[in-house]
Amino acid sequence: MKEALSNQLKQNPAMPMLAVLMILFSTLSPYFFDAINMESIAANNAVILIAAVGMTLVFLTGGIDLSIATVISVSAVMAGVIMGHTDNVLLGVLTAVSVGAAFGLLNGFLIGFLGLSPFITTMGTQLIARGIAFSVSEGIAVQGTPEPVIDFGFALVMGIPKITLVSFAVLLIVGFLVALTSWGRYIILLGSNPLAARYCGLNTRWLELSVYLASGILGGIAGFISIANLGNALPGVGDTLLLIIIGAVVLGGTSMNGGEGSLTKTLFGVAVLAVLTNGLNLLGIPFYDQLMIQGALIFIGYSIAMRLNQAKR
């Protein structure tokens, strides 16, 4: 039993961090375990979890998607505009997913087929997405969100926000694809040893395209969920999310070099940063001090995770 627990902690270094933070903040603040506060943590991090799932897929191949946060923004804006004119929720969902897929396809084609650098490519599409979001919205919140979307953002199922359940559903579906399908095994092989993947006969171009497409689609879903969470489509909704998304993935222990990581680890990474941010807010810690604490925790967590990964090898 002890050995099994020890192995689990080694595989998920963010798990003990999460436990320590929850004990600490529950001791320092009587409001931490309040039902409303727990609901707030869950709802406010649904978008981050969905996007972090997409980023994890990209990391597993050894790539990076710097555009995912602004894809969230542009998907939200375009969906908000469509719903504002048509009052059609389904059309809004399809718009958000389609916009995300379009950017994912663009990233995947440029990286997989033209061989461009993931960092430079997604930096460029990041700027394009942000420009479109602010141009279409004229820099202000898009009004006219249908009532069912707003109601969905506030709805609970057994005390759990529905938008959080959506993020968990995304995690489970993608987790199944990664763990139990050949596609999942192929992307891990691609990240571990690209040359071996080619020698095995894998079409690495299409494989990379599929991963960036998945990341874009997840960014689109996250964009629509952001509308439900905030009540409006905001052109800058993703501006502060990129480093949080990347931080959550690396804090969970997924390697940026590819081939090492899991969505379970990402879930714990998201949870650690969510609890840390909420706890510091409850304690009244100034925003800029929070940034320093978050940065230090990400550095410590990633260092531990990488040392554990090296030890396993």
Q: Does the pLDDT value for residue 12 go beyond 80? A: no
pLDDT cut 70: percent of the chain above it: 95
Torsion of CA 228, 39, 71, 212, to 10 degrees: -120
pLDDT at site 226: 97
Return the pLDDT at 116: 96
Residue for token digits 């033209």? 114
How does the average pLDDT of the chain come out, rounded? 92
> Domain ranges in the chain?
36-240+254-260
**Cα angle at 163 between 211 and 81, to 5 degrees?**
75
The proportion of the chain whose per-residue pLDDT surpasses 90, expressed as a percent, equals: 77
Q: Model-level pTM? A: 0.94
Residue 8 scores a pLDDT above 70: no
| pLDDT confidence of residue 41 | 95
How far, CA to CA in Å, does 134 sit from each of 4, 74, 91, 125, 265? 50, 8, 21, 14, 34
Give CA–CA dist 21/27, Å, rounded. Answer: 10
Q: Can you tell me the mean pLDDT for 173-188?
A: 94
Query: Is the CA virtual torsion 27, 33, 36, 39 positive or negative?
Result: positive
Closest among 226, 254, 209, 243 to 56, alpha carbons compared: 254
Q: Give 62's contacts (C-beta < 8 A, 6+ positions apart).
A: 190, 191, 194, 256, 257, 258, 259
pLDDT, position 149 = 96
pLDDT for the residue numbered 44: 94
pLDDT at 240: 86
Query: Looking at residues 212-223, what average pLDDT do you find?
Result: 98
- Tens-digit pLDDT profile for residues 150-179: 999 999 999 999 999 999 999 999 999 999
- Give me the amino acid identity at 241: L
Q: Predicted confidence band at 10 (pLDDT cuts at 50, 70, 90)?
A: low
Q: What is the pLDDT of residues 75-101, one digit of tens each?
A: 999 999 999 999 999 999 999 999 999
Lowest mean pLDDT segment, chosen from 35-39, 74-78, 120-124, 305-309 = 305-309
Confidence of residue 69 (pLDDT cuts 50, 70, 90): very high
